[in-house]
Structure formats: structure tokens, C-alpha cells
Amino acid sequence: MKAFPLAVLAMSLCVPAQAALSPKAEAFLTSIGLIPTSPEVSLAINDGVISTTFNGDSEQYSLEQLATEGKRNGTKAFVGTRNFIAKLTANFAGTSIPATNYDPLYLTVQERALAGRKFAERFKKS
């Protein structure tokens, strides 16, 4: 076997497989204008269940849960928020705060602290 195909095989084993959404969740995403196979939705799916604390209570959220419960705004905000935090983690200085589809409820406590730093930075400039 040649080195290149072997390297490709090795890399493919390191990439986590996308978790599958239920048909009901996929249908809901489509009905609200989200494409279940888009990179943005795939990132939110792969983030899985987000465990966080809100007003002192432990909370858990996932794209599957929000979509199967028919929560239009929550579903869009979950996708937007999960994409924002991924970009912010990768490139803090180069990431802007989203104008829509952001809700800190869908961040872990640690992610919320990072996002808070970004918001504080924005307000210092104004």
C-alpha cells in the first residue's frame, strides 16, 4: 500500500463521525430554513449535549432536543451560538459578535466567560 492512501485512511479515522439527528429533528431543521448537512449545523450536532448552569440550575441542551421540541428560536440560536464559540475559541481577535441567533444559554460556564471577555472588549471600544 502506498503512503498517501495510508495517510488518508489514518486521518479519516481521527475525524469524529457526525452524530445523526432523528428524522423528526431533520425535518424540523428543514422547515425553519436550516440545512441539516450544512457545516454550521454539523458543528452544532457534533457539539452534542451542552451542560451548563443557568441561574444556579444545571441545564443541558442539544440540537436534537431543541429541534424535536419544535423550538424554532432556540434551535436557530443553538446553531448560531455553537458556531460563534467555535470561531471565538479558534480566533478570539478575529471573531465578531453575532448580530442574530446568539444566546449565552447555549454556552458552557467556561465558554460564557470567554464570550463575556469578547463583549467587554467591544464595549471598551465604544
Which residues 6+ apart lie within 8 Å of 41 measured at CB?
A: 29, 34, 35, 63, 79
Q: Is residue 34 part of a domain?
A: yes
Q: Is residue 62 part of a domain?
A: yes
Report the domain count for the chain: 1
pTM of the full predicted structure?
0.83
Helices (H) and strands (E) in the chain, counts: 6, 2
Please give the average pLDDT of every successive group of 10 residues along the chain, which has 126 residues.
Answer: 41 50 98 98 98 93 98 99 98 95 97 96 77
pLDDT at 16: 46
Distances (CA, A) of 85 to 1, 16, 17, 88, 113: 40, 19, 20, 5, 11
Q: Containing domain of residue 59, as a range?
A: 20-125
